[in-house]
Amino acid sequence: MPFMIQRYTSPKSISPADRIKALPQQFFAQMVNKAEVLRQAGYDVINLGQGNPDQATPGNIVTALQSAAIDPTYHKYIPFSGLQSMKAAVASWYHSRHGVTIDPTRHVAILIGSKIGLQELSLALLNPGDRAMVPDPGYPDYWSGIRLAGADMISLPLTADLNFLPDLSYWDPKAKLAFLNYPNNPTGRLASGEVFDELIDLAARDGITLAHDLAYGDITFDGKHAVSLLSRPGGVDAGIEFTTVSKSYNMAGWRLGFAVGNPEILHYLEILQDHLHCSQFGAVQEAGIEALIGPQDSVRALVKLYQSRRDSFINEAQKFGWQITPSEGSIFMWCPVPTKETSVEFAERVLAKEQVILAPGTGFGPVGEGYVRISLTASTSQLTDAAQRIGRLI
């Protein structure tokens, strides 16, 4: 009897789960792909669309990783909730940066990057049909977690006439969660302590959890300072705050962040993480400890560099009649579209004609129309060159 080869027939299609269908398109991945296609085609591309730090991680932090990596203690599983010494370093950092005293055992959760934590919070707190408020424009990954949870999004518009602070006439007292972000991505604005006080009072009145994204808390300009939610009266009870070593210490690829605040909420977050992850590699946490409690000269130098880049781009853009309000913080500038085009039309024309990648404002929400976001994570010469290229199209 001859040997018969059975022909494999692939299924016609494999349908994703509804939660995958509900996810927004990954905005930043699209920009990276566009840049890579153009580079491979031989173009001199300047990517101002993505906030990917371009400076090296400080040497003392790298050394701390190298030393810890050879410790066999970290070649095994460590507690899923992270190193207690890392939590203590976070508490020390909060005290030195924001004058906040917290219990590292109760008030800190270690994250594999704050991006993961921001999405997991929605999974930990929201049920299908619950409502969550998001800044518009705002960081798109807030949307992702809410949609994975099957919850509904309510827009809190950030407009120029309110200096890009939340328009509280849109506050939803029936929501369960509200995301905040100052220094703000994408607008680069700061919020005062009084703004936080008002939000804390509203949240307490309506039983809403506040989630403050402080990813850019160290990066502020012109002598201004960011406000921590936890530094305001009632802030620790009102919700949690997310921070990361990615931006302050040029550690974006290291994937290490932390959430701080209400112990009950952090407990729910850690329960979820127990099921989804092991803790971040212990040697990376040791490097994070060095970043937080070691010398901070590199942070001050980085802020000075970003402010210089900001000023260089704005000054060059002004030569072409493009007026841009200086960013108060973050690694971004929020720039009005200088033509009568939509933000997408303008960004696509700049890409096609001058090979400069900008982030259209509508990628951060409908209220972002009329703006493009520009990243300061390119060299001064690249930013100046980009301003000149864009200027030729204005």
Query: Which parts of the chain register pLDDT below 70?
Result: 1-12, 26-29, 31
CA 369/CA 336 separation, integer angstroms: 9
pTM of the model: 0.93
Q: What angle do CA 232, 302, 216 make, to 5 degrees?
A: 35
The burial of 344, by beta-carbon neighbours within 10 Å (0-12 exposed, 13-18 middle, 19 or more buried), is given as middle
What pLDDT is stored for residue 20 in this prediction? 87
Indicate the fold that domain 59-293 takes in CATH.
Aspartate Aminotransferase; domain 2 (3.40.640)
What pLDDT is stored for residue 167 in this prediction? 97
Q: Using alpha carbons, select from 193, 198, 180 the residue that is nearest to residue 121.
A: 180
Tell me, what amino acid is at 147? R
Q: Read off the DSSP letter of residue 220.
A: B
Q: Using alpha carbons, select from 11, 28, 211 the residue that is nearest to residue 114.
A: 211
What pLDDT is stored for residue 375 in this prediction? 97
What pLDDT is stored for residue 3 in this prediction? 45
Which residues contact residue 115 at a Cβ distance below 8 angstroms, ignoring those fewer than 6 apart?
Answer: 141, 257
Q: Using alpha carbons, select from 385, 388, 383 the residue that is nearest to residue 48.
A: 383
Q: Are 142 and 134 in contact (CB under 8 A)?
A: yes
Question: Where exactly does CATH 3.40.640.10 map onto the chain?
Answer: 59-293
Tell me which H or E stretch contains 211.
strand 209-213
CA 260/CA 156 separation, integer angstroms: 23
- SS3 label, residue 54: coil
CA 322/CA 290 separation, integer angstroms: 42
CA 116/CA 259 separation, integer angstroms: 11
CATH code, residues 19-56+297-391: 3.90.1150.10
CA 325/CA 321 separation, integer angstroms: 13
For residue 371, which phi and psi values (nearest 5 degrees)?
-135, 160
Q: What angle do CA 331, 238, 226 make, to 5 degrees?
A: 25
